[in-house]
Structure 1
Amino acid sequence: MAHKVILDTDPGTDDVIALLLLLASPEVQLEAITVTFGMCRNTDVDHAYNNVLKTYEVVRQHCDAHPEDAHRFDHLNARPQTILSKGAAGPIAGEQALAEYFHGKDGLSNIMETHPEFSFPQPFEHPWLKETDVAAHDVILDVLRREPAKSVTLLAVGPLTNVAKVYAKDPETLARVRRIVIMGGTFDAPGNTTAVAEFNIYADPFAAHQLFSGSSTLPLLVVPLDITSQHTVSFSALILDDPKTLLQTFVSAILARPRRVLAALGYSGDVFEMHDPLAAYMVTMHAAQESDVLLPGFRTTWRDFVIERAGEHTRGMFVVDKRASIEDAGVSRARDGIVAERPTGDVNPGILRVEVLDQSSGVKKFEQHLLRRIVWWSPSL
């Protein structure tokens, strides 16, 4: 039986690659997709929402035009419709931050301008989706209430605003989740939005702090830039110069802008860092597991830190104490004086502690799995 998953997402390019991986994975059943702000300048998240619809429609039309590929998505016809819901249009607090600079004003490399054939008429009904006006955080709660405890994984690959709203409204129901896999943050690696911050945390550090404060009762697993930035795939394996099908054209088109931006920023190697797809890979690989024990090759560690929520240059930073003392990241000697011992337990109150993925089954295995599932036409295969 397929493992049930809720995907909370702000669909830009790497989110869509992660979604395509989930759609091509018979091990999982997408119960719901809840959309949040993040990728583009549209306060009611319409672009992000439409990017989910667009992705589903591309897959459907590809299968209709190429029945020889339909078996890759056949399981979707036997599954209940996935609920699709809009969520937060902005952060819990603070200024709204967007990643339009990277993904384009529509979140998909301005695909509707460069490839008008992807401007599908709206609205339309999709056989694999069930749209709803119920708010995203309530959709998440509805799924968790109706399903057996520990039977649903929540995969969060956008700003954590929707999930924080779930926690604020009904933490007991959220605790019924099997695992909350979060792509976000960075502990020791450079940031991808500022020098020290990853975008999903930067976009709503207040939501991240609120959610991570519940880590003692919630099964959180963070997948940070420290590991995702190691999992790259060559753009030449993803982008075709002469695509032959709608899906090939779609994948090639949505990755065009990130390729140009990364080159302009001076990154070498012509590779795409698979941040959200690695988190989706983690979920699909463990979908058949009856326990929370990780598969061989995967490894986690526990990290202590605080989240900077309002710093001029450090908003969204995971502040890790690297001093050779017993002090924690929240301690300022100028304010607190000499802290000779921790007041309670092993970690000071206010210090966040979460489980963090720090090793996968291998970069090559991940790359092969991703390419075989969603870009099987690649010349490199």
Structure 2
Amino acid sequence: MAPNRIIIDTDPGVDDVLAMLLAFSAKSEELEVLMLSLTFGNVEVQNCLRNVVTLFHHIEKERAWRKENGRPEGFEALMAHKPIVAVGAEEPLAEHMMVADFFHGVDGLGGIHSSHPHLSPSETWKSLFLPAPENLSAEEVAELQRVEDAHSLFTPSLKPAHEEMLQILRDNEPDTITIVAVGPLTNLAIAAAKDPEAFLRVKEVLVMGGAVDSPGNMTPGAEFNTYADSVAAARVYALTSPNPKTTMPPSIPGGKKKNGQLGAYPEGLSRRLTVKLFPLDITNRHTLPQSLFSTYTSTTPLPTSPLVQWTSLFLTSTYRKISSLSPSPPSSEDDKEEEEPPSLQLHDPLPIYYAMTAASSSSSSATTQWQFSPPEDLRVETAGQWTRGCCVVDRRGRSAHNVSEGDLSEEVVGDAGGWRDARRGNRVVRALESPDQEGFGGLLLERVFGGL
């Protein structure tokens, strides 16, 4: 079976790091990770970059530890293909920038770079993402080579992430590359605006984002990634429509000039984009309880694992944060029940797991496999005072009307917004069920840290 070849577009905070660890721990026949495309989101983008470099640093230490302890070194997918790392969007297309450092910590990993600086690699790695100075001495050339050798698990790029993304899509046959987007969709929106036909060569885009029937986690109705750049999400979803201009977001006054106001897509695009959405409705149900993580990682010899020691620090901080954000327990001793240990919702690892298992799942005879909705006209609110980033689906149960082809100014009577016009609207598919909902936390631990 050929591996699913993917680009991961990410804003590395806690669950993003777990998602990347899961991807790199995949079997070589399951995944080939071509690129990590970085965006702002959970924290600003340079902190995201530091978290990625630190991740590779600890994978390298982990593989050495496993070899010394006679354990399989693992990380097959990473060893089979060295991914490009490219830095992308620093801010949303048009809106006020919001980050989730209140949850993930100021550095995206619970403040670990300040609290445990000895676990972060020397910042000489920053030179990898800067143009090489001219007229270097032999000693300086040797030092640059030493830095490259110390970070040999990835290929640093000096190009913006959206340019690297487009180049990969141009260099490969259509429908052979999947983008797994687990942060705000800014990089994807910029790539699609710059060269929509190249972007549409993608096989599918798997998006962790949105809340449809579930409450939001940023506002009552909006999930963080979609809220952080609602305009980008609306622009990407518009490419699933037969006529993208029918769901394009309105021009926002004061939109940022360097990223915003990207303009309409050309008429007559050659194909539609396939988007599979993994909203809070399904990701909330996939969790890693603190009790399970503690029990698993306390079993010999894992307490001495460099990767366990690193992840334990930021996950412990995250579990504390989850507990602090949970509703206070009842004040009455009679009503007070024993508190359950906190659980981390595995939002970002879930679409990675789908990318790993989609091919085998579709051919399996197991009763419960991945289940998706039919294509839905799901749109993103970009202009509401209280509803920025909310997902809107028509719940009225009306059938679509086939209006004559051509002039889209011809509307169905009483159909504000074109919800009943078959020529208009998005076509987004939404994940409803997964094969491993109950055991996903344990499965992730086994994949990342190795079976005991």
**TM-score (structure 2 length as normaliser):** 0.74
Q: What SS is found at the alignment partner of 2:42?
A: coil
Counterpart among 277, 295, 298 of residue 222 in structure 1: 277
1:157-236 to 2 correspondences below 5 Å: 157-216=182-241, 217-236=272-291
Matched, 1:310 2:383: yes
After superposition, the C-alpha distances for 1:192-229 in whole angstroms (9 at most, x for unaligned) are 11111100000000000001000130011111000000
- Identity, in percent, stands at 33
Distance 1:69 1:194, change over 3 A: farther
Matched, 1:36 2:28: no
Distance 1:92 1:247, change over 3 A: same
Corresponding position of 1:331: none
Separation (CA, whole Å) in 2 of partners of 1:265 and 1:250: 23
Separation (CA, whole Å) in 2 of partners of 1:337 and 1:74: 54
Corresponding position of 2:309: 249
Q: How many Å apart are 1:345 and its aligned residue?
A: 6.2
Q: How many Å apart are 1:97 and its aligned residue?
A: 0.8
Q: Is the CA contact (8 Å cut-off) linking 1:141 and 1:174 kept in structure 2? A: yes
1:66 partner letter: R
Greater C-alpha Rg: 2
Corresponding position of 1:71: 73
Separation (CA, whole Å) in 2 of partners of 1:13 and 1:321: 34
Q: How many Å apart are 1:232 and its aligned residue?
A: 1.2
Distance 1:360 1:6, change over 3 A: same
Separation (CA, whole Å) in 1 of partners of 2:317 and 2:400: 44
Q: How many Å apart are 1:290 and its aligned residue?
A: 9.5
Corresponding position of 1:100: 101
Corresponding position of 1:58: 58
Q: How many Å apart are 1:343 and its aligned residue?
A: 6.4
1:283 partner letter: A
Q: How many Å apart are 1:276 and its aligned residue?
A: 0.3
Q: Is the CA contact (8 Å cut-off) linking 1:166 and 1:174 kept in structure 2? A: yes
Corresponding position of 2:405: none
Q: Is the CA contact (8 Å cut-off) linking 2:16 and 2:182 kept in structure 1? A: yes
Counterpart among 151, 161, 167 of residue 176 in structure 2: 151
After superposition, the C-alpha distances for 1:274-300 in whole angstroms (9 at most, x for unaligned) are 100111111111256899xx9951111
Distance 1:75 1:164, change over 3 A: closer
Distance 1:17 1:295, change over 3 A: farther
Q: How many Å apart are 1:353 and its aligned residue?
A: 3.0
Corresponding position of 2:436: 362
Aligned residue pairs total 364
Distance 1:259 1:347, change over 3 A: farther
Q: Is the CA contact (8 Å cut-off) linking 2:412 and 2:418 kept in structure 1? A: no
1:130-141 to 2 correspondences below 5 Å: 130-141=155-166
Q: How many Å apart are 1:10 and its aligned residue?
A: 0.2
For structure 1, list consecutive stretches of 5 or more residues without a partner in the other structure: 329-335
The structure where strand makes up a greater share of residues is 1
Separation (CA, whole Å) in 1 of partners of 2:184 and 2:415: 37
Separation (CA, whole Å) in 1 of partners of 2:305 and 2:110: 19
1:73 partner letter: F
**TM-score (structure 1 length as normaliser):** 0.87
Distance 1:161 1:75, change over 3 A: closer
Superposition RMSD on alpha carbons, in Å? 2.8
Corresponding position of 1:3: 4
2:103 partner letter: F
1:316 partner letter: G
Separation (CA, whole Å) in 1 of partners of 2:398 and 2:171: 48
After superposition, the C-alpha distances for 1:113-169 in whole angstroms (9 at most, x for unaligned) are 222222210214322200011110011111111112211111000000000111111
Separation (CA, whole Å) in 1 of partners of 2:82 and 2:53: 13
Separation (CA, whole Å) in 1 of partners of 2:105 and 2:429: 33
Distance 1:343 1:73, change over 3 A: closer
Q: Is the CA contact (8 Å cut-off) linking 1:239 and 1:251 kept in structure 2? A: no
Separation (CA, whole Å) in 2 of partners of 1:129 and 1:275: 25
